[in-house]
Each structure stands twice: as structure tokens, then as C-alpha cells.
Structure 1
Amino acid sequence: MDWQRWHQRYDDPESELSRRLEAVKQQVRAALDRAPAGPVPVVSLCAGQGRDLLEVLADHPRRRDVQAKLVELDPELAASARERARGFDHVEVVTGDASLIDQYVGLVPAELVLLCGIFGNISDGDIQRTVDASPQLCRTGATLIWTRHREEPDLVPSICDRFEARDFERVWLSGKDAGFGVGVHRFTGVPEPLITGQSLFSFV
């Protein structure tokens, strides 16, 4: 996969990816709006160019409270995210394997967890593994935002069910007619201890 070319579709305002990005950004903004007072830890797995978070932070009143870590394996995409993050003192962009849970030591449990661009590129077993590990990443009340295409097999309903079985409460789900799936869940459970050494998924 040429991930740089794939990300270029975000620049086309009519593309499905561009419309999905706008939906994610709206939900990121809403999550920051309702975050409690104090530091707002954020982790983004497979962050790409970091547009979903960084474009919201540019003018959000809570931007100085956000302490974020964006992890992206592709060095060119990570470099782009790092450039976009200039001026944000508490945003770290790491070029590395986002599937390794050790990447998030020190910043989880977080208030906002972004799992965007992942579930459409991994196996069903890895989706389940990532959902099962999510209580290690989230503090009570945290918002988790995820994406998945609506092509057959449409796994969006079952992904919702899987999160909801792990103490995540559905906040918002894009309509099927949107052509893409964006899900927002709030963690109502108790954070689980981080089990280091885990690899949550691999792209197929």
C-alpha cells in the first residue's frame, strides 16, 4: 500500500475520506469540549498525518491542556504529522509501530483514544484483540473514536457490540448512508492495568 498516495485523498473535499475526516474532527472537538478540567491525555494509534486531532487543536480552547502522543509507522506520514504539530508543546509524534502497547506507557489511561484507519486493515481476530485491550488505554469517562468502512462484510454493528460488551457506551455512530463508519464510545468501566509486551494488530 502506498500510504502517502492514500492520504492525498484527504485533500479532495468531495472524497469519502475527506468527509470521514470531517466527521472524526467533529467528534474529537466534542470529546475535548466535554473533557474534565485539568490535563487531557490523548493517544492516537496509526495517526497518519495527525489531521484529525491537530486540525482541531489549532483553535480549540482546551489545546493547552492536551498532552498527546501520535504513533505512526510510515516515516513520511510521521514527518508530516510532526510538522503539523509545531507549536504544540505537549504533542509528541513517534515514528513507530502503533500496535505495540508499550508505546503508550506514561500517557494512559487517556481521556481520548483515536483508533482511526485501523479496523478496515486488520483481521477480525485483531479487531477483537484491540477492542479487548481498549480498557487498558482509557480512563473512566474517556472517549474512544474508531473508524471502519461500510463495505461487505459490514462489521460496524458487530464492532459496536464488541465495545459495548467491554463497558463502552455508544455516544454516536455515523449513518450507513454516509458511506463510511465512524463510531464514538465512552468508557464507563474501570481502567485495566497496562499489560506491556502486547502487539494488538498487524495490517493485512
Structure 2
Amino acid sequence: MTRDWYAWHHHYEDPESALSRRLVEVRRRIGATLDQAPPGPLRAVSLCAGQGRDLIPVLAGHPRGGDVTARLVELDPRNVELARAAVSEAGLTGVEVVLGDAARTDAYAGLVPADLVLACGIFGNISDAHIQATVRRCASLCANGGTVFWTRHRQAPDLVPTICGWLAEEGFEPVAVSSPAEGVGVGVHRFLGTPRPLPAGVTMFEFTARPRPA
């Protein structure tokens, strides 16, 4: 069974839903990262960006929003249309929404290593092996000092501690990781290493047939 990723966004209309509460935390963390970013231009990429609800509103309302060149990659054309409309309405001339497969490394050519890398709504819908592979690629997607934002549910089996370990192995340090008691899984890690070349033509992950909470 394949999840309808357009209908999936309807959960955001309920402010008490786990997705809505997670979205608030992701936006807060993106804003805090922009607050602390050094002067000058910034780059951002968003994997499986959906309707861009996590990044676009933050850039629209933040003083540094105009400094950000961003690429949002999304496969569902309905979500792409809504994200592009949001970008246009916000007047974010540096933001592009690309219709394409976010799992393919080619989608990010020319814009990585980036200062902000969003991998939200992915790790709950791919295998553990593909999560680890994607974490490994984050060392190519992130610039030195760049930040990756990721999500994963805290239901059993709770893989969040393992993901944090994989990130540490790749040269990331934790900035913030939500606790199980918070009911949502949001991780923020900063890359301290030297970015690796991003290979062309590589598929980082594939979604599982039976979607789980992200």
C-alpha cells in the first residue's frame, strides 16, 4: 500500500496532531539556526519537501530569509504546486521547488554542501539500512558547520539513539534531540567534518511498502 503524500498533509490541519507538534519544533529549530548563522549567503536543501511547510514559512518571516538559496525536492506534483505557490506568495526569489526524486543524489547537484539540510518525514518510512546510508550521505550534503534537521518517531523500536550514533560516526555533533516524553522525534545535528564529494547517480533510500509514523 502506497501512502498518499498529498492527503498526509491534512494532519497538519489538526493543531494537536503529532505532525503539527513536530512541525512547530522543526520550524523553531530552523529559526534558531538562522539566528546563529554567520553573515553572508546561505544554502539549504530539503529532501522529500512535501508542501514546504517546515522551511518556507520560516524563511518568509526571518530576517535572514533573503540570504538563503534553497532547493526543495518533492515527487508528488500536487505538493510541488502548493509549495511553489507558497514560495511565490512569500516573495522568496532564492527558493526553488523541484519536481523529482529526492532520494537521488543528482537532485542536489550545484547546491551542496549546504548550510541547512532537511530530512524530515523520511526516517520513519525507510529501512534501518537506508537510514544509515542517508546519514552517510549527509556528510556530503552538509557544509562544514552546516546543520541537518531530521525526524523519526519514538515508538518501539526507538531507533533515535542509534541514528544519533550513526551521525556521530560521520562527524556530526548533537545540537538538540527531542526526548520520548515530548511525543515527537526531532533531531538537529551540526557537521564538524570536511564535506565529502557527493557521487552522481546514487539512490540514497527507498520508501517501504507499508508506511510508518515518520
TM-score between the two structures when normalised by the length of structure 2: 0.94
Q: 4+ runs of 1 displaced by more than 6 Å?
A: none
Aligned residue identity for 2:149: I
Match of 1:55 among 46, 57, 60: 57
Matches within 5 A, 1:109-188: 109-188=113-192
Distance 1:138 1:6 in 2: 28
Shift of 1:78: 1.1
Shift of 1:79: 0.9
Aligned residue identity for 1:124: D
Give 1:84's aligned residue.
86
Give 2:37's aligned residue.
35
Distance 1:45 1:57 in 2: 17
Give 2:68's aligned residue.
66
Measured against aligned partners, the alpha-carbon deviations of 1:60-97 in whole angstroms (never above 9, x if no partner) come to 00011000000000111111111111111010000110
Aligned residue identity for 1:68: A
Aligned residue identity for 2:195: P
Distance 2:34 2:148 in 1: 12
Give 2:24's aligned residue.
22
Shift of 1:154: 0.8
Give 1:13's aligned residue.
15
Measured against aligned partners, the alpha-carbon deviations of 1:20-44 in whole angstroms (never above 9, x if no partner) come to 0000000010111112211110000
Distance 1:131 1:76 in 2: 28
Distance 2:143 2:107 in 1: 17
Query: Paired residues, what number?
Result: 204
Shift of 1:180: 1.6
Shift of 1:57: 1.1
Distance 1:62 1:16 in 2: 28
Shift of 1:5: 1.8
Q: Percent identity?
A: 57
Unpaired runs of at least 5, structure 2: 209-214
Distance 1:131 1:14 in 2: 30
Distance 1:194 1:46 in 2: 18
> What RMSD over aligned residues (CA atoms) do the two structures have, in Å?
0.7
Aligned residue identity for 1:61: P
